[in-house]
Structure 1
């Protein structure tokens, strides 16, 4: 067996081993959690795990036993995966090139505006169906639960380094001029028309500013940061896949050559 076949077999064995815990994680999510967030996650996790398992199995068997048609399927799927990964990485950088927090005088936290982000992302969170799922996730995660204990005074809250979700979803915009009671309870001002989010604020623990555009902007800021990290990781994965694909091409060539000589052998 050629070196390329060994390398392809080893690479696919490693990814095959990786697929098993991925599938297990998806099954664990489906059995242990029943929230909207977990139901949303479990399907893609299981699907990704099964996809990795099938592709890796084809590559492993094809390279170790020199089955050229399996290697052909493996290389075809790998090529599609490389192209999709490249397209997604470019897209991720394109839609996350806008957006940032706005510093406020005398405040430790920043505030976020929906219009600062890409139109594509903005449309996603403005969609009622999408946003209802996100709100359910925010409620399940209890993103605002600990703020009252962490920042018991107005001075402590003003100096707080709030996350984008905490800044956008757990308090009214500063422009509203609401009077502080505690971190998640505010008294409505006499003229709250400085921002449309002022009318969306509610002191109920399961509502707060979850219907505010500032909350949508906070979610997008999290997405923007996460997608940037994912895009960088994708570049590393892309290089790995290109190397694996190149080695796989050599293994495929070896398998085809062996089949050719095997078929010619009786006529020698």
Structure 2
């Protein structure tokens, strides 16, 4: 009896897991469809680009199949359909990502949000130094070494960058230290190109060195300013309300 109950429980658990997996997949499809609909309304070029890429790739596959002839024709056409759909989906993803970064550009906390979404082995510590105007310096540890990413007024964040680089240099020795100011001015890196900028930096240390470096810098602590940084991009109106609350508390 115990064995039969165990088998029944296992069967029920598998059925529950399968149902949960189906529900999660359905939710992902629903979210993707909603994202597509929103992007389609905002981006008038999205559908023409997606349809154009799909038709072009399928047409190329058909032409190649006709020229080659034989059984290959029947293989190339389905392959062209699959590739066309894949390229159309990639176009949607790229344009949606670009739209997100465009909306976040210039908002407080946008750089911290972008760093939190980096792909790869990066160790991000947001808001290690900040001012009451929501200017901030974030620390990133990666294969290049230590990277300080600043957002806000360049005149206010440059002294913060200099202080953090000086503090860190005492601990890291010969490990390279880089600094980046996010913005659209001269010598600054646009938010949409931040990840590309970081990934193009040379690899100077190993993952093991990254672990040791993270422990040292964690012990160093932070110098957060009087205003805590938001978890994501913060519109200007919300930013002003936060400043007003900070002033009232003082």
TM bucket, shorter chain: under 0.3
Which structure dedicates a bigger proportion of its chain to strand? 2
Which structure dedicates a bigger proportion of its chain to helix? 1
Provide the TM-score with structure 2 as the length reference: 0.26
Provide the TM-score with structure 1 as the length reference: 0.24
Structure number with the bigger relative contact order (C-alpha 8 A, sep ≥ 6) is 1
